[in-house]
Structure 1
Amino acid sequence: MLALLLVALFAKWSAAALHHLFVGTVDGGSLYVLEMDDMERTLTVLRNETAAGASPSIAFDRSKLFLFGTRPSDGTISRYSVGPDFSLKHEGTGQIPESCNTTAFKSIKISSAIRNPNLIYGSATTGTCSTLFSISITGYYTQRSNEIAGDIRSFAWSPDGRHLHALDSESSSLLNFGIADEPDLKDLLDTKAIKDTKAARQVITHPVGHRIYVVTRDTNELLDIPLLNNDRIDGPIAANRSAILVKDTPAGQYVTTSVAISSSNATLWTLSHTASPENTFMVTAFLLDAKTGAVQRRIARASFRNYLGDGTQQPTSVLIPAPFDGDMVALTTFPGAMVAVLGLVGESIKSFGRAMLAQDEGCCGEGVWLK
């Protein structure tokens, strides 16, 4: 009996060491499923699924039964059902609510709603005109905000799902939308510029603290912005700033494109890179106050190179926080076609696996974990 119990416990523990990451493509035709074994520190391609088109931004619905992928070139979203073997079945493609006098966009970012599990929210931008939208997981219900004169490529939810914070990169402003039980995306509560900031790139929120973080693309700064207890923005925004790169880094050498928080709520990660074909990446980890989210100090930095690309494509790189225990993140690169998982061990950044997906020239876009 004891032997059987030990076998059962070992099997359960072993299974818990496997995690699955779904990855889209920037302009390719595949969706990838990768499997990470955190005991062996390996990352392998489990499936390479033919997609309805490129999916630079992907998201699960709250049930994790459906995966959604965007195609900015024609303003569409595709839905895929997720099988028990992690296979994907394309179930249909629909148009997002038309806006900005076009159906072609430079970027469409999507995320599942926190309060309503049946809605997917998104932002679509031409670079100078943007709109926020939501679509039901069945595709039969859509709504959108008023058009916004700006470039909204990133948005984040307040912990309770009552606020949606959208970042306008063109003006480096934050737009705070109220989300009711029956939202209409017309309740714009606040629009505030971030003082002395240019080219703000991505916004995220702390999972329990009333706090926003923003990274700037060209000046490579981490901005720490406290909110009111109701997650409203209090007057003109004066952010607490932390330099992401070392002091002697030449101006213009790096751009910062992504920021994420580990599941511990105590570690924040940033990702910076140079232009292709050199493709040097810099990952920086900051210590946070786990309750308030205030940035304490920089604790670790790691760099690596990835030479794929011919220098003609605008490189992108994205961080994906791991939802399971541990201070870990995944990152994807384009046109480098690499997916890697990094973790914080003490005050050092260690690799927990890497996979090269160079067979698809459009890889890699965003990724999402299936916990």
Structure 2
Amino acid sequence: MRLSLSSLAVLGLLNVASADLHQLIVGTFKTESLYTLEFDDAALTLELIGNFSANAASSWIALSHDKKNLYGTSFTAATPSFVSYTLASATDIIYNTTLEIGCNSSAVSIFAIASSEPPYAVYGCPFVGASNCGAVMSVDENGVLSEVIQDYSYNTSSGVHGMAFDSANDFLYSADDSGNALWTHSVDNTTGELTFVSSVAGPVTGADPRHVTVHPEGQYLYVVLEGANELAQYSIDTTTGIPFFENVTYPLIPSGSANADYWSDEVALSFSNNYLWATSRARNTTNTGYISAFSLSSNGSIATQLFLTPTSSSGGQANAVAPSTFSDEFVALTDSATGFVEVWKLGAENASAVARVDIVDGGCCANAVWYS
């Protein structure tokens, strides 16, 4: 399957890479390490330049607004916990502290996101089946995790796997994988604490929202449906912040494929917000996952699904996509089935892997963040 714009249309919208070196930091599922990679956008090479012995295996990592701090899940800890590092550079990583949150001690921390607006709070959620809660963590004047200032609840059947802010950080949206729902909370811009606004059921039974992102214009929210293996577009009521489904979905696996063989994963906006990337994973190593990109209109509505192409592997627990922060052309893709990170390049009618680093340590690779 391939749905595409004309070659000239796509190439005309792409940002040209700046012929520079860029660093990525990569987390892991099982091994207590953080890896730093360097990508040359002219030579199209990717190299491992740093291996930091971390204080936790982080299944998800997130940068602070100024990229001076890195926050991660403590994925193998006995109770849900989050870890905080200071970044002097992409390879100079300094451990600061670990915070244990006060909800659902039987679950594991799965996701973290940092606010880009004062007071720059960090939000985390645990996940194993029904984990039904989340936490708001404050930071000190240096951006280091300070204390848990709020434990808040979802439904008893909930298991949130991903979260996203609107561009003003007025609302936080939670993808409830176990509870098949989307949650909206308003954000107190003084304390960072959350107030419940709404819970909206997934579009169909078993859709299972996993990850979400919001267009900066604030009119659309995009949701990866892990169970339905689709990307769903929701409109947002700009007064209330509540998303509503208007029956707009796109496939993340080929037509005729069995849903049970796949579990879709991640969605993220490109550098310019003109494109949207999304991925699916295969549940066994005999199949590959898939990567797709979408062109967006100026208000954020999806214009066209450009392609749906196989990834290099099943993706394992990952196939997490991380668009570069310097060009629409490049996106990092992680794999935990064998352990590697690839950089893919968006072309006129498709995308392809142009660089790769294998990191076979028994736990890599979870997600990646672009430091530069």
TM-score (normalizing by structure 1): 0.86
Give a deviation string over 1:256-282, Cα, whole Å, max 9, x none.
111111112121111112123335121
1:275 and 1:118 map into 2 onto residues whose CA distance is 36
Which is worse superposed, 140-149 or 210-219? 140-149
Matched, 1:82 2:82: no
* 1:192-231 alignment, distance < 5 Å: 192-198=200-206, 199-230=208-239
Matched, 1:19 2:22: yes
Residues 145, 188 of structure 1: alpha-carbon distance in 2 compared, 3 angstrom cutoff:
farther
Q: Which residue of 1 aligns with 2:53?
A: 50
1:307 and 1:247 map into 2 onto residues whose CA distance is 18
8 A contact 2:275–2:328 mirrored in 1: no
Q: Using CA pairs under 8 Å that are at least 6 residues apart, name the structure with larger relative contact order, 1 or 2.
A: 2
* 1:270-349 alignment, distance < 5 Å: 270-278=278-286, 280-289=288-297, 291-306=298-313, 315-349=317-351
Which is worse superposed, 192-201 or 47-56? 192-201
* 1:29-40 alignment, distance < 5 Å: 29-40=32-43
Give a deviation string over 1:183-220, Cα, whole Å, max 9, x none.
46341111121332522221111122421111111321
1:14 and 1:153 map into 2 onto residues whose CA distance is 32
% of aligned pairs identical?
Answer: 24
CA RMSD of aligned residues (A): 2.3
1:14 and 1:206 map into 2 onto residues whose CA distance is 23
Aligned counterpart in structure 1 of residue 159 of structure 2, from 151, 163, 181:
151
How far did residue 351 of structure 1 move? Answer: 2.5
Larger Rg belongs to: 1
- How many residues align? The count is 348
Q: Which residue of 2 aligns with 1:259?
A: 267
SS in structure 2 of the partner of residue 252 of structure 1: helix
2:196 and 2:303 map into 1 onto residues whose CA distance is 32
1:287 and 1:267 map into 2 onto residues whose CA distance is 5
How far did residue 292 of structure 1 move? Answer: 1.4
How far did residue 176 of structure 1 move? Answer: 0.8
How far did residue 48 of structure 1 move? Answer: 0.8
Which is worse superposed, 158-167 or 294-303? 294-303
Q: Which residue of 2 aligns with 1:4?
A: none
2:320 and 2:24 map into 1 onto residues whose CA distance is 13
How far did residue 63 of structure 1 move? Answer: 2.2
Residues 298, 330 of structure 1: alpha-carbon distance in 2 compared, 3 angstrom cutoff:
same
8 A contact 1:278–1:305 mirrored in 2: no
How far did residue 156 of structure 1 move? Answer: 0.6
SS in structure 1 of the partner of residue 153 of structure 2: coil
SS in structure 1 of the partner of residue 152 of structure 2: coil
Amino acid in structure 2 at the alignment position of 1:368 = V
8 A contact 1:132–1:185 mirrored in 2: no
Q: Which residue of 1 aligns with 2:63?
A: 60
1:174 and 1:44 map into 2 onto residues whose CA distance is 38
1:368 and 1:162 map into 2 onto residues whose CA distance is 23
Give a deviation string over 1:52-107, Cα, whole Å, max 9, x none.
12011111222211212211333222222222462212223232x2112x1x4244
Q: Which residue of 2 aligns with 1:166?
A: 174
8 A contact 2:32–2:57 mirrored in 1: yes
How far did residue 41 of structure 1 move? Answer: 0.6
Amino acid in structure 1 at the alignment position of 2:44 = R
5+ residue gaps, structure 2, are 1-15
How far did residue 238 of structure 1 move? Answer: 3.7
Amino acid in structure 2 at the alignment position of 1:99 = C
SS in structure 2 of the partner of residue 63 of structure 1: coil
8 A contact 2:283–2:314 mirrored in 1: no
Amino acid in structure 1 at the alignment position of 2:279 = L
Give a deviation string over 1:306-342, Cα, whole Å, max 9, x none.
389xxxxx63321112111223221111132110111
8 A contact 2:80–2:109 mirrored in 1: no
1:239 and 1:65 map into 2 onto residues whose CA distance is 40
Q: Which residue of 2 aligns with 1:105?
A: 107
2:251 and 2:90 map into 1 onto residues whose CA distance is 43
1:318 and 1:286 map into 2 onto residues whose CA distance is 16
Q: Which residue of 2 aligns with 1:7?
A: none
1:25 and 1:255 map into 2 onto residues whose CA distance is 19
2:132 and 2:205 map into 1 onto residues whose CA distance is 20
1:325 and 1:184 map into 2 onto residues whose CA distance is 31
How far did residue 231 of structure 1 move? Answer: 5.7
How far did residue 237 of structure 1 move? Answer: 3.4
SS in structure 2 of the partner of residue 64 of structure 1: coil
Amino acid in structure 2 at the alignment position of 1:293 = G
